[in-house]
Amino acid sequence: MQSFNFTGLPARVVFGDGSLGQLADEVRALGCSRALVLCTPQQIAQGHSLMKQLGSLATGLFNEATMHTPVDVTERALATLHATQADCTIALGGGSTIGLGKALALRTDVKQIVIPTTYAGSEATPIIGETRDGIKTTQRSLKVLPEVIIYDVALTLSLPVAASSASGMNAIAHAVEALYAKEANPLTSTLAVQGIQSLNDALPKIHLNPLDKEARSDALYGAWLCGMCLSQVGMSLHHKLCHTLGGSFNLPHAETHSVILPHAVAYNAGAAPQAMQQIARAMNTSNAAQGLFDLAVKLNLPTSLQALGMAQADVTRAAELALANPYWNPRAIERAGIQQLLEDAFHSRRPAAS
């Protein structure tokens, strides 16, 4: 048995169909009575419904959560938090809203309840990424770890198929990098394999039938497992590239994960053979990188940076940014290799078998 360190993180998880009905009890259990609801502009109706459910426990609604957590949006939300004298936040939505809640907690230590409606998995992590002046940076702090996560499969039934697939690939990326992380340990590796397997099985079923509640539940469970992996280990090349492409070129977060992941895995394959075998077995395929690429194709996800709106001229700039302050990675970060990785991702080239 390998030597390892493990620290359990203090977060409460409420998982189940209809679990949203326990929200008011969870607010009170935190000792709170003035909740600020957070959501995106697209989820205003759901935000108001949540406020109605909370009644006197709700003190306000901030509906400007934005992808990549821009600092200027956080500053406006912070003003609302102070104006309403909120003692907790309730983030309803995906990574954009969850990121905003974390940004507020980082600045105020306000308590957080998170209600995920996608499969991003960031709700289970003490990690926050923020964008200022076109540069996205991340940090790890227990201050941003939500106190309570409510997983209600009913809230995911209306999630569009494309968003379901993209956020699911985002979650898979957390587990994939956990398998070859410097801090990898037996528990996170077990969670990672199960998370990948759950999402690999569930996402194609959701693609065929968005109302398949069992598949939706399996995907939500898999996303939680993948998020738990990311909470325990550091990030590597894949996440560095996605943060660079999102923060500096404003590419959509989840879709960027689906494009980059197969190529980042191919780049690291020779340096992490055991992880590649684990990924391949979890996906019932012979090659990890090709299996991830083929899953994206099966789910009708974008497989090229060009399809996401990136210009060919930006590839070299993206490589330069990725080389600056690189994350730890099992294979050395080499300029020519990163340039080739991004070129392959730009042109939607299926990774080679080798």
Domain map (residue ranges) of the chain: 12-156, 161-346
User: What pLDDT score does 44 carry?
Assistant: 96
pLDDT digit string, tens, across residues 29-86: 999 999 999 999 999 999 999 999 999 999 999 999 998 899 999 999 999 999 999 9
- Whether 300 shows a pLDDT value over 60: the answer reads yes
The residue with greater pLDDT, 122 or 261, is 261
Average pLDDT rounded to a whole number, residues 100-129: 94
pLDDT digit string, tens, across residues 124-182: 989 999 999 888 888 989 999 999 999 999 999 999 999 999 999 999 999 999 999 99
User: Which residues does 19 contact at the CB level (< 8 Å), separation at least 6?
Assistant: 150, 151, 152
> Confidence band (pLDDT; 50, 70, 90) for 274?
very high
pLDDT digit string, tens, across residues 62-74: 999 998 899 999 9
Start-to-end C-alpha separation, the chain: 30
User: Which residues does 82 contact at the CB level (< 8 Å), separation at least 6?
Assistant: none
Q: Are 35 and 86 in contact (CB under 8 A)?
A: yes
User: What pLDDT score does 1 carry?
Assistant: 54
Q: Which amino acid is at 240?
A: K
- Whether 230 shows a pLDDT value over 90: the answer reads no
Question: How many residues would you count in the chain?
Answer: 354
**H helical segments located in 180-212:** 186-208
Q: Are 93 and 122 in contact (CB under 8 A)?
A: no
User: What pLDDT score does 2 carry?
Assistant: 65
**In angstroms, what CA-CA distances link 77 with 19, 89, 310?**
27, 11, 30
Please give the Cα distance from 26 to 43 (Å, whole number). 22
User: What pLDDT score does 222 carry?
Assistant: 96
Decide: pTM greater than 0.75. yes
Cα dihedral 215, 219, 225, 226 sign: positive
Average pLDDT rounded to a whole number, residues 301-320: 95
pLDDT digit string, tens, across residues 185-196: 999 999 999 999
Q: Which amino acid is at 310?
A: M
User: Which residues does 189 contact at the CB level (< 8 Å), separation at least 6?
Assistant: 178, 179, 278
Cα dihedral 46, 47, 49, 54 sign: positive
The mean-pLDDT minimum among 3-7, 126-130, 298-302 falls in: 3-7
pLDDT digit string, tens, across residues 282-293: 999 999 999 999
Q: Which CATH class is domain 12-156?
A: alpha beta
Q: Are 21 and 65 in contact (CB under 8 A)?
A: no
Q: Which CATH class is domain 161-346?
A: mainly alpha
- Whether 118 shows a pLDDT value over 90: the answer reads yes
- Checking DSSP bridges between strand 127-132 and strand 135-140, what pairing results, if any? antiparallel
User: What pLDDT score does 245 carry?
Assistant: 93
